[in-house]
Amino acid sequence: MRTGRSFALTTLSAPIAVPFPYQLSAGEQRALSSCRRSDIAHHRLLDVLALQRGILTVGADGCVRICEPCCLVKPDRCHHCSTCRKCIPKMDHHCPWFNNCVHFGNYKFFLLTLFYAVALSVYGVATIGTHEAKAWLSASTTPSSLHLTLVSLLGAVLTFGLGSFLSAHISMLLSNETTLEDMRGPVFRNPEDSFDVGRYRNFVQVFGPRVSLWMAPVFTSIGDGVRFPTKLHPVLEVSQTRPVLADARITARDASPGVVRPARLTTDSLRGSSPTPTLPASM
């Protein structure tokens, strides 16, 4: 039952929408358009937009990531899915077996589906395989023995394949990486920063602090899907509202280089996403 529910939730859970504060305002769009001819001014303006939204990562080219089709500044760990045709918060990958993206809202269900599938495969191989092994050794086989033996072999192959896949995802879970980040690690403004805040805290971000709910197919992940504690910023603070550029001008102050610190977003500005508990301070 838990396997079926986990599979259904992985398949049917739609990703949360990127909160409104990350959308580009009309003034910001005009400002970006007006400075496209100057790479330096364009990059510095993007830095300002990221600073105002508390974004800690940049693209592989060192430039702040924006999504033109969705008209937004991409939050940390957000990627545009070419299949779903929209930006997905904390996107892991698009899975054709579920016909859905694996993302912040269903990653726990995805892991539980893999776990229960592997557990059922192991159980099937252990029970049927043991019975058939005894039958072959005692020469008391029946006409159905060959079929059951083939089923056991297929179960063993499934166990090995899904088990290896599950093992890889558990490794990424404990190091707080998505599949996309494992393929190409995130680039932080501060090279010493990382989403890896310790194995236990990494695990709790996905499965929640209540041990009794870890194996239950209910949503217990911590956070809002767009902001995450990091090694250098373990505690999330919220205090700044969404900025709007009044015009298309880039002042010397706006375009000047400097250390970009994480901005603070108001809790009210994130009402577009489902609120979830924060990490306990004792962890």
User: Which are the catalytic amino acids?
Assistant: 95
Residues belonging to the chain = 283
DSSP string of 177-216? --HHHHHS--EESSTT--S---HHHHHHHHH-S-GGGTTS
Instruction: Say whether 19 sits in a helix, a strand or coil.
Output: coil
Main-chain dihedrals φ then ψ at residue 163, nearest 5 degrees: -65, -40
Contacts 24+ apart (CB under 8 A), 216-222: 216/2, 217/2, 217/5, 217/6, 217/9, 217/109, 217/112, 219/105, 219/108, 219/109, 219/276, 220/108, 221/104, 221/105, 221/107, 221/108, 221/276, 222/276, 222/277, 222/278, 222/279
Residue with tokens 């056991």: 152
Through-space distance between the first and last CA atoms of the chain, rounded to whole angstroms: 32
